[in-house]
């Protein structure tokens, strides 16, 4: 299991369309992946879970992955989160 702190740079945060892209990316990996914010942890592959964290621009989150492709999973999700992806 590995963890990584990431700052979300997406202008509207992980809401609506960007959250969908995030979940699709998370689902492309075999590892179990979680997102943690303010001591709340949700499944990164769950749209409702990610939306419930109310992640806005410049929010720091912790990504946690456990599995055979955990490093690739965190690298991919970090890149997406910090890319500033716009809707």
> What pLDDT does 33 receive?
98
Q: What is the pTM (predicted TM-score) of this model?
A: 0.92
The H or E element that residue 2 is part of is strand 2-7
Could you tell me the residue ranges of all domains in the chain?
A: 2-82
Please write the tens of the pLDDT for every residue from 25-75.
999 999 999 999 999 999 999 999 999 999 999 999 999 999 999 999 999
DSSP 3-72: EEEEE---TT-S-HHHHHHHHHHHHTSSSEEEEEETTEEEETT-HHHHHHT---TT-EEEEEEESTTHHH
Return the CATH class of domain 2-82: alpha beta
Residue 66, Cβ neighbours under 10 Å: how many? 13
Q: Which residues are catalytic?
A: 15
Length of the chain counted residue by residue: 87
């Amino acid at each position: 299991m590995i963890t990584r702190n990431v700052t979300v740079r997406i202008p509207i945060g992980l809401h609506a369309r960007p959250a969908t892209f995030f979940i699709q990316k998370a689902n492309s990996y075999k590892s179990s992946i979680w997102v943690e914010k303010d001591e709340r942890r949700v499944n990164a592959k769950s749209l409702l879970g990610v939306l419930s964290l109310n992640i806005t621009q410049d929010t720091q989150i912790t990504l946690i992955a456990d599995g055979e492709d955990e490093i690739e999973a965190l690298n991919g999700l970090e890149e997406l989160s910090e890319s500033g992806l716009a809707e």
